[in-house]
């Protein structure tokens, strides 16, 4: 590789690192994204020039088609649909890595052991990233059920699939030139592995899955770098791989569950038995009553969950928050790390609705002072505010860190009905002395409150 | 190509750099971060270009599909990140 090309790749790698570093705070993040995309531009330009890849022309056609499709997707996607879009794009990255490994085999079928091993790993991890992302996309988009899909012998099947990856990998690597059928089988098994590993995971665990798939796409790119001996792929792939692992870890901690538990337990598939003890009485209230409470409140804490996204209620929520502030109340938003369907999902929605980011608080920042909050408004969140996580050792979510809204003076819970949350777990919050249920569609209810405020 | 230990060093050190810089990202920006790293993982576009530029027909066809897929990943990823980051605003101080 020429000196110049290596220099361009080093510059690209540096731009990626600096770009990600700039993303640590909202004020510098846009510049960070720009630097990263500049890095990508340099890397592509350097590659095209260095390898003199301008013919066949259809390569450029591929880039034109890809750019157009990517631009359209980026433009039309709604903020509420961000998790499935990120999953889908992630899948395309995995597909590319898979195909790079495949094409490389055709270029040089009788490769040495080292290249053979990295090639088979690239196609397996790339395939797994692709099919896993497509399944995650389908679940989030509700093309298929968001519930865990479980069947008898599932663990055995998974073990068999994994075993055949290893067996096939060994067979292939020993004599790559004469084992093309095994190679193709490995491509298939990699794709199958993505499907079997994501179908048992339920909708509310998607933040973990998306983070993990993000990591896989980095690892796949990194492996492809080993195959074609390209350093910029190795550097960048491991950066992204590390990023995904960190986010996966944060998500698991926020649910107090191990990664293995998320991946294999089919959490939420069991309908929790109705808890025996007396639950107390549910006290509901009407919008005008809620208005009276809010109007008198000196401090209001909003706690959004996935229900906010489903109801597209972020704008109405912002409008109410603004009116409360005008009314003299101190307003903040408490955001649980796993609220929504991907890390940071709620923050993006509220940012879209023009909520200033200094009002978006982390769980650990609001919990210590939460007993001084006059009214906590829970919008479409359930498990992340379930006090059973703190109090009931028999609850499946016991030990999960939650936002302690039950300690606020009054809690208003906006909810469609009394149905249990995703995980089918009873929520004692709804029966607490200081809790009032406000039933209805979150958006409609919020709009009603807004008009109450405007009327006066 | 013979086995070389150098890429392993690169892999491990870059991984550490990744851990250090990602740890510092505020949770508020986790979605844009994820979509940006997602776009960056489209670096396999470089590999796809090399594959498509081979003189083997099958390699070219596979490479073409790879180039298209990776470009969707890269362009879509960066543009979506920009769209999201543009929305994160701090209100002007109230007088």
Asked if residue A299 and residue A203 are part of one domain, the reply reads no
Alpha-carbon distance A421 to A73, whole Å?
Answer: 31
Asked if residue A348 and residue A255 are part of one domain, the reply reads no
Q: Classify residue B22: in a domain, yes or no.
A: no
The residue-averaged pLDDT of A47-76 equals 87
Higher pLDDT, A306 or A426: A306
CA-nearest of A452, A302, A315 to A377 is A302
pLDDT tier at A396 (50, 70, 90 boundaries)?
Answer: confident
Q: What percent of chain B has pLDDT over 90?
A: 68
Catalytic residue list of A: 383
Q: What percent of chain A has pLDDT over 70?
A: 95
- Residue A206, token pair as written in the block: 């998607």
Whether the Cβ atoms of residue A350 and residue A360 lie closer than 8 Å to each other: yes
The residue-averaged pLDDT of A51-73 equals 86
Residue A276: what pLDDT? 43
Q: Classify residue A432: in a domain, yes or no.
A: yes
Residue A259: what pLDDT? 87
Cβ distance B45 to A40 less than 8 Å, yes or no, reads yes
CB atoms closer than 10 angstroms to residue A92: 31
pLDDT tier at A271 (50, 70, 90 boundaries)?
Answer: very low
Domain count, chain A: 2
Res A56 pLDDT > 90: no
Q: Which residues of A touch B44 (CB under 8 A)?
A: 93, 96-97, 100, 126, 220-221, 224, 233, 237
Residue B92: what pLDDT? 62
Res B95 pLDDT > 50: no
pLDDT tens figures, A127-153: 999 999 999 999 999 888 888 888 888
Asked if ipTM goes beyond 0.90, one says yes
Alpha-carbon distance A414 to A379, whole Å?
Answer: 5
Q: Which residues of A touch B35 (CB under 8 A)?
A: 82, 86, 89
Virtual torsion, Cα A271, A277, A280, A281, nearest 10 deg: 50
Residue A424: what pLDDT? 66
Whether the Cβ atoms of residue B51 and residue A48 lie closer than 8 Å to each other: no
Residue B1: what pLDDT? 54
Residue A274: what pLDDT? 47
The residue-averaged pLDDT of A210-226 equals 94
The residue-averaged pLDDT of A205-225 equals 93
The residue among A264, A299, A321 that closes a domain is A264
Alpha-carbon distance A32 to A21, whole Å?
Answer: 7
Virtual torsion, Cα A378, A379, A385, A387, nearest 10 deg: 60
Q: Which domain holds residue B52?
A: 29-87
The residue among A264, A299, A324 that closes a domain is A264
Whether the Cβ atoms of residue A209 and residue A198 lie closer than 8 Å to each other: yes
Residue A49: what pLDDT? 84
User: Containing H/E element for A78?
Assistant: none
DSSP-derived 3-state class of residue A306: helix
Q: How many CB pairs under 8 A join A and B?
A: 384
A214/chain B closest Cα distance in angstroms: 6
Res A270 pLDDT > 60: no
Residue B69: what pLDDT? 96
Q: What is the CATH number of the domain that holds A392?
A: 3.40.50.1220
Q: Which domain holds residue A385?
A: 287-419+427-455
Of the partner residues B50, B67, B89, the one whose CB lies closest to the CB of residue A66: B67
Alpha-carbon distance A90 to B36, whole Å?
Answer: 11
The residue-averaged pLDDT of A202-229 equals 92
Q: Which residues of B touch A26 (CB under 8 A)?
A: 26, 28-29, 85, 88, 90
Length of chain A: 456
Asked if residue A441 and residue A401 are part of one domain, the reply reads yes
The residue among A264, A279, A308 that closes a domain is A264
Alpha-carbon distance A139 to A400, whole Å?
Answer: 24
Q: Classify residue B50: in a domain, yes or no.
A: yes
Instruction: Please give the C-alpha separations between residue A13 and each of A19, A77, A298, in angstroms, as whole numbers.
Output: 10, 29, 50
Q: Classify residue B12: in a domain, yes or no.
A: no
CA-nearest of A192, A171, A197, A195 to A183 is A171
Q: Classify residue B17: in a domain, yes or no.
A: no
The residue-averaged pLDDT of A69-98 equals 94
B5/chain A closest Cα distance in angstroms: 11
Strand order in the sheet with A360-362: A360-362, A330-335, A299-304, A375-379, A410-415, A435-439
Instruction: Please give the C-alpha separations between residue A285 and each of A35, A138, A379, in angstroms, as whole numbers.
Output: 51, 37, 15
Asked if residue A100 and residue A224 are part of one domain, the reply reads yes
Helices (H), A147-272: 154-174, 180-198, 206-227, 231-255, 259-264
Alpha-carbon distance A94 to A107, whole Å?
Answer: 20
Q: Give the largest Cα separation in chain B, rounded.
A: 68
Question: Lowest-confidence range among A113-122, A132-141, A193-202, B48-57?
Answer: B48-57
Alpha-carbon distance A233 to B41, whole Å?
Answer: 9
Cβ distance B87 to A348 less than 8 Å, yes or no, reads yes
Asked if residue A196 and residue A112 are part of one domain, the reply reads yes
Residue A273: what pLDDT? 47
Q: What percent of chain A has pLDDT over 90?
A: 71
Res A106 pLDDT > 80: yes
Asked if residue A132 and residue A189 are part of one domain, the reply reads yes
Residue B57: what pLDDT? 86
Alpha-carbon distance B95 to A449, whole Å?
Answer: 27
Radius of gyration of the CA atoms of chain A, in A: 25
Res A272 pLDDT > 60: no
Residue A127: what pLDDT? 97
Asked if residue A396 and residue A301 are part of one domain, the reply reads yes
Residue A217: what pLDDT? 95
Asked if residue A292 and residue A260 are part of one domain, the reply reads no
Q: Classify residue B19: in a domain, yes or no.
A: no
Pairing of strands A299-304, A330-335: parallel
pLDDT tens figures, A308-320: 999 999 999 999 9
Of the partner residues A214, A228, A233, the one whose CB lies closest to the CB of residue B34: A214
Radius of gyration of the CA atoms of chain B, in A: 19
Per the listing, tokens 């489209």 go with B42
Higher pLDDT, A146 or A95: A95
Q: Classify residue B48: in a domain, yes or no.
A: yes
Higher pLDDT, A70 or A201: A70
Asked if residue A258 and residue A342 are part of one domain, the reply reads no
Domain count, chain B: 1
The answer for A 218-237 residues in CB contact with B (under 8 A) is: 218, 220-222, 224-237
Q: Classify residue B7: in a domain, yes or no.
A: no
- Residue A43, token pair as written in the block: 């890397």
Higher pLDDT, A325 or A267: A325
Q: Classify residue A39: in a domain, yes or no.
A: no
């Amino acid at each position: 590789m020429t000196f110049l090309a290596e220099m361009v790749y080093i510059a690209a790698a540096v731009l990626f690192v600096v770009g990600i570093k700039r993303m640590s705070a909202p004020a510098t993040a846009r510049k960070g994204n720009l630097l990263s995309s500049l890095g990508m531009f340099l890397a592509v330009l350097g590659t095209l020039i260095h390898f003199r890849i301008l013919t066949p022309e259809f390569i450029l056609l591929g880039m034109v088609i890809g750019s157009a499709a990517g631009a359209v997707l980026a433009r039309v996607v709604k903020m509420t649909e961000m998790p499935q879009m990120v999953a889908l794009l992630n899948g395309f990255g995995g597909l590319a890595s898979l195909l790079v490994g495949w094409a490389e085999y055709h270029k040089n079928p009788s490769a040495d052991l080292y290249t053979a091993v990295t090639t088979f790993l690239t196609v397996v991890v790339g395939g797994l990233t692709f099919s896993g992302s497509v399944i995650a996309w389908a679940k989030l988009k509700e093309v298929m059920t968001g519930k865990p899909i479980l069947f008898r012998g599932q663990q055995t099947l998974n073990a068999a699939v994994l075993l055949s990856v290893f067996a096939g990998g060994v067979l292939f690597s020993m004599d790559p030139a004469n084992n093309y059928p095994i190679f193709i089988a490995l491509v298939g098994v990699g794709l199958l592995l993505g499907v079997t590993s994501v179908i048992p995971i339920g909708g509310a665990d998607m933040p973990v899955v998306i983070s993990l798939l993000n990591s896989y796409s980095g690892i796949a790119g990194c492996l492809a770098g080993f195959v074609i001996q390209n350093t910029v792929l190795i550097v960048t792939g491991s950066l992204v791989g590390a990023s995904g692992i960190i986010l996966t870890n944060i998500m698991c901690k926020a649910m107090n569950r191990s990664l293995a538990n998320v991946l294999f337990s089919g959490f939420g598939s069991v309908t929790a038995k109705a808890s025996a003890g007396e639950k107390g009485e549910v006290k509901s209230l009407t919008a005008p009553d809620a208005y009276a409470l809010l109007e008198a409140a000196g401090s209001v804490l909003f706690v959004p969950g996935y229900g906010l996204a489903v109801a597209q209620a972020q704008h109405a929520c912002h409008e109410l928050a603004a009116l409360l502030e005008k009314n003299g109340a101190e307003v903040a938003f408490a955001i649980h790390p796993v609220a929504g369907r991907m890390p940071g999902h709620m923050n993006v929605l509220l940012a879209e609705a023009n909520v200033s980011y200094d009002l978006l608080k982390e769980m650990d920042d609001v919990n210590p002072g939460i007993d001084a909050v006059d009214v906590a408004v829970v919008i479409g969140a359930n498990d992340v505010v379930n006090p059973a996580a703190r109090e009931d050792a028999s609850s499946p979510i016991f030990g999960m860190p939650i936002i302690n809204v039950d300690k606020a003076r009054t809690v208003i819970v906006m909810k469609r009905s009394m149905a249990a949350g995703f995980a089918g777990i009873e929520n004692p919050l709804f029966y607490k002395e200081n809790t009032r249920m406000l039933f209805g569609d979150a958006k409609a209810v919020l709009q009603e409150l807004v008009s109450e405020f405007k009327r006066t | 190509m013979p086995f070389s230990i150098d890429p392993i060093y690169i892999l491990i050190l870059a991984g550490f750099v990744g851990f250090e810089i990602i740890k510092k990202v505020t949770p508020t920006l986790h979605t844009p971060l994820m979509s940006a790293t997602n776009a960056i993982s489209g670096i396999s576009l470089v590999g796809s270009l090399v594959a498509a530029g081979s003189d083997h027909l099958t390699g070219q066809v596979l490479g073409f599909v790879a180039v298209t897929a990776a470009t969707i990943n890269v362009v879509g990823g960066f543009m979506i990140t920009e769209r999201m980051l543009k929305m994160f605003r701090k209100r002007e101080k109230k007088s």
